[in-house]
Chain A
């Protein structure tokens, strides 16, 4: 794309037409974004630049942020279940999207979150670590700047390739999709909490195919229970780094919403729906 624009460059000098102005604008944005230097990684991860280019693009405008709190334990007691909390309530921009990854995991990508009606104030889930690693959350603002929060978690490791607890339970398929969820109305926000039985197989354990929840939709349904584009608060895609029997927490700003619906779908096409809140 970039090289194509560069080749087009001489024609812009010849005629200043509307199309060329657009080309010029595209050109400048590409050239100028390329000019952004990647800030140094405070954690000195060997995967810093590689994963940014992989998940945010080679032209991403990246800054470190202290407006986002990314919490992980200093040491992962259980490498297969490491709690991650991302607090976004102090973020000052509009949130276009959120991408989170675990630098040194076999599949580093953990989730991508796309807000629709409203961005969450808090987002929490558990993830796996294969070895001690840096964890990232990148928040894209309205100017396409990625604000990166980072933390380091020490670990004994092996969380991505250890057989799941579920797999040793011969009756797991009976419990698949069983969930426990609650809605908490709090002074400044509404909290949604959902845990769901799912083996979340990473595909990295011998003879166990990949099988995990990979799509989540959050809807504000109130009382009509219709789940559509109108009601969609946000969508999340999950990757292999998410933990077995996941527990999700989402906080949204308190407003009229008193009922939420979560729709989860796994890589085999199973769909799980759960209504949370006043009924």
Chain B
């Protein structure tokens, strides 16, 4: 046989390998920063990196929303119909939507036809605490990014769905997972990690979007070293909190939790990633006297190197599983003739906080739920005024029996006055629309020791509803006065995100299966549609071919059916699903104003 010495030009290697010409253009950082102002696309979780979930579109409005009609629906298929907490993205007429079990689809936004699907091949040993959810993807350049339940970050070619790179963010066997949507800031893909129930140390990691090379890594718990990466080498970049044992006793910081499992937002004005951290581990706070920084906190980080600029801890020495992960939404307001660069968050612990996002200073705070048992209010610096006897009893104290501390009644429950489901801020009304819940719990503490990959709680609990006829409350909150402007009660707990628009509308879903639209000033329900399974996803709206569209993922699941205790009775007959629904006005009804714009 003759030897070949030529270097052949690349030939179609496989008859199956199709090369598809690029037709969509690369997404730039500037486009992502302008996301909120460009209704024809949705490039980020939060419909803008500030996380406001506010659309400037008004062609769909209070007058015509009652005619909103399905345009298409798309099934996620398979037998993997679990909680669908995703937020779709839209670019160049393509929807990118994620689903349970770390799956992602590209769908034709005009027809609902599938373009490609990517299923992560998950190991059997994944340890998601609270259902196998995924909350969404990020777009940058010619790629789409999402995190997986085995704690990997995947970059896919937007056109083909083929992987470009995949990186292990953390070890899933320690309990790490990724359920949050990543964000892209200045060419870096930034993700948090979940796993606080397993005693992992929370960390935030950034990758170069093009290459997948790690850029930096920031642990969230005091005492752990952060790193930046230069030419693939880890370079020390300062210990989180300065040093160990300032606010943690002994070795407890080594498995201190603080998982930033919900990702974050980005504020361009201060060039800060604003990300919250979960509960300190274990749940039993008597094992870790001290504030336990930076668990149950909001952090402002430099996106270039992951250094922490400031922190605000909502629940020091947290002992009720009041994670501090909830989204911190940047907004501006005028006071005494000056613009205040503020940020607001509705915490699991039942308090609503307004912070100065330039330095993390507390501006004001107030309860957004009907009752808070564990604290009687907030001090001038925003720290809670703890109620005596509000904390579960010490299992090592005099009152302990059979290794169990005294059981206490606490409200809100550990699933929080508000959980992961993001609120929305209207630039028109200046109100925050908060998907909240009224529930309580009995909770007690017991001893626990850390074991890799095992639950690290040291607590027992059961959730109970506090009202006969409702748990969920969609609230319009005034961030200046703390006034609840209106409320809409729902029998089942609210577990889906909120969207608000310049058309005077507030959208959210219910576990009963409805996507609903409300009047942003009165709370009057203007429209509802039954999607066939519980809506725990994030509704979005965008413009295509001169018409305003609304989409939401449907599929009941999430933490409530797994952890809901007696609330489980309310939701036990809700069926699972896995769909994305897309709505618009009939072409003849009320789009004249769009055409004339």
- Give the total of A residues in contact with B, Cβ under 8 Å: 47
Q: Among the listed A88, A171, A173, A207, which residue makes an inter-chain contact with B78, where contact means beta carbons less than 8 Å apart?
A: A207
- Minimum distance in angstroms from A69 CB to a CB of chain B: 13
A269 touching B4, Cβ below 8 Å? no
User: A226 near B: Cβ within 8 Å?
Assistant: no
* Docked CA distance A227–B4 (Å): 19
Residues B32-85 near A (CB distance < 8 A): 78-80
B3 touching A118, Cβ below 8 Å? yes
* Docked CA distance A201–B119 (Å): 12
User: B8 near A: Cβ within 8 Å?
Assistant: yes
* Docked CA distance A109–B18 (Å): 14
* Docked CA distance A93–B3 (Å): 9
Given contacts A115-B4, A172-B123, A207-B80, contact A235 B166 (CB under 8 A): no
User: A206 near B: Cβ within 8 Å?
Assistant: yes
B8 touching A239, Cβ below 8 Å? no
Q: Which residue of A lies closest to B5 (CB)?
A: A117
Q: Which residue of B lies closest to A255 (CB)?
A: B3
A239 touching B1, Cβ below 8 Å? no
A237 touching B121, Cβ below 8 Å? no
- Minimum distance in angstroms from A116 CB to a CB of chain B: 6
Most buried by A among B8, B11, B14, B124: B14
CB-CB under 8 A from A54, the residues of chain B are 15
* Docked CA distance A174–B171 (Å): 11
* Docked CA distance A76–B499 (Å): 59
CB-CB under 8 A from B78, the residues of chain A are 207
CB-CB under 8 A from B124, the residues of chain A are 170, 172
* Docked CA distance A236–B11 (Å): 12
Q: Among the listed A92, A210, A237, A253, which residue makes an inter-chain contact with B119, where contact means beta carbons less than 8 Å apart?
A: A210
B4 touching A237, Cβ below 8 Å? no
- Minimum distance in angstroms from A115 CB to a CB of chain B: 6
B11 touching A92, Cβ below 8 Å? no
User: B295 near A: Cβ within 8 Å?
Assistant: no
User: B125 near A: Cβ within 8 Å?
Assistant: yes
* Docked CA distance A94–B163 (Å): 34
A119 touching B8, Cβ below 8 Å? no
User: B595 near A: Cβ within 8 Å?
Assistant: no
Given contacts A112-B13, A112-B14, A237-B14, contact A268 B121 (CB under 8 A): yes
B154 touching A269, Cβ below 8 Å? yes
CB-CB under 8 A from B154, the residues of chain A are 268-269
Given contacts A54-B15, A237-B17, A267-B163, contact A211 B121 (CB under 8 A): yes
CB-CB under 8 A from B119, the residues of chain A are 209-210
Binds B, one of A41-49, A95-103, A126-134, A146-154: A95-103
A253 touching B80, Cβ below 8 Å? no
* Docked CA distance A270–B166 (Å): 6
A96 touching B8, Cβ below 8 Å? yes
User: B150 near A: Cβ within 8 Å?
Assistant: yes
User: B22 near A: Cβ within 8 Å?
Assistant: no
User: B25 near A: Cβ within 8 Å?
Assistant: no
B2 touching A93, Cβ below 8 Å? yes
- Minimum distance in angstroms from A246 CB to a CB of chain B: 16
User: B165 near A: Cβ within 8 Å?
Assistant: yes
User: A248 near B: Cβ within 8 Å?
Assistant: no
CB-CB under 8 A from A269, the residues of chain B are 154-155, 163-166
* Docked CA distance A111–B163 (Å): 20
Judged by DSSP, the binding face of A is loop
Q: Which residue of A lies closest to B103 (CB)?
A: A209
Given contacts A173-B125, A209-B119, A253-B3, contact A99 B15 (CB under 8 A): yes
Residues B112-159 near A (CB distance < 8 A): 119-121, 123-125, 150, 154-155
- Minimum distance in angstroms from B277 CB to a CB of chain A: 28
* Docked CA distance A172–B125 (Å): 10
* Docked CA distance A92–B2 (Å): 7
A89 touching B4, Cβ below 8 Å? no
User: B7 near A: Cβ within 8 Å?
Assistant: yes
A95 touching B163, Cβ below 8 Å? no
Interface string of B14-31 (1 = CB under 8 A from A): 111100000000000000
- Minimum distance in angstroms from A192 CB to a CB of chain B: 17
Q: Which residue of A lies closest to B120 (CB)?
A: A268
* Docked CA distance A119–B5 (Å): 9
* Docked CA distance A117–B166 (Å): 30
Residues A260-276 near B (CB distance < 8 A): 267-270
Q: Which residue of B lies closest to A172 (CB)?
A: B123
CB-CB under 8 A from A270, the residues of chain B are 166
User: A114 near B: Cβ within 8 Å?
Assistant: yes
- Minimum distance in angstroms from B306 CB to a CB of chain A: 24
- Minimum distance in angstroms from A271 CB to a CB of chain B: 9
- Minimum distance in angstroms from B104 CB to a CB of chain A: 11
CB-CB under 8 A from A95, the residues of chain B are 1, 4
User: A31 near B: Cβ within 8 Å?
Assistant: no
CB-CB under 8 A from A117, the residues of chain B are 4-5, 7
CB-CB under 8 A from B14, the residues of chain A are 109, 111-112, 237, 239
CB-CB under 8 A from B79, the residues of chain A are 206-207
* Docked CA distance A246–B124 (Å): 21
Given contacts A173-B125, A253-B3, A270-B166, contact A239 B16 (CB under 8 A): yes
- Minimum distance in angstroms from A93 CB to a CB of chain B: 7
User: A12 near B: Cβ within 8 Å?
Assistant: no
CB-CB under 8 A from A170, the residues of chain B are 123-125
Q: Which residue of B lies closest to A253 (CB)?
A: B3
* Docked CA distance A216–B2 (Å): 23
B166 touching A268, Cβ below 8 Å? yes
Most buried by B among A99, A112, A170, A201: A112
* Docked CA distance A164–B164 (Å): 26
CB-CB under 8 A from A268, the residues of chain B are 120-121, 154, 163, 166
Q: Which residue of A lies closest to B125 (CB)?
A: A170
- Minimum distance in angstroms from B349 CB to a CB of chain A: 37
Question: What are 23 inter-chain pairs, A to B, with CB distance below 8 A?
Answer: A56-B15, A94-B2, A99-B15, A109-B15, A111-B14, A114-B11, A114-B13, A116-B8, A119-B3, A173-B125, A206-B79, A208-B121, A209-B103, A209-B119, A209-B120, A237-B16, A237-B17, A253-B3, A268-B120, A268-B166, A269-B155, A269-B163, A269-B166
Closest 7 CB pairs between A and B? A269-B163, A209-B119, A173-B123, A237-B14, A211-B121, A269-B166, A112-B14
Which residues does A use to contact B, with CB under 8 Å?
54-56, 88-97, 99, 109, 111-112, 114-119, 121, 170-174, 199, 201, 206-211, 229, 235-237, 239, 253, 267-270
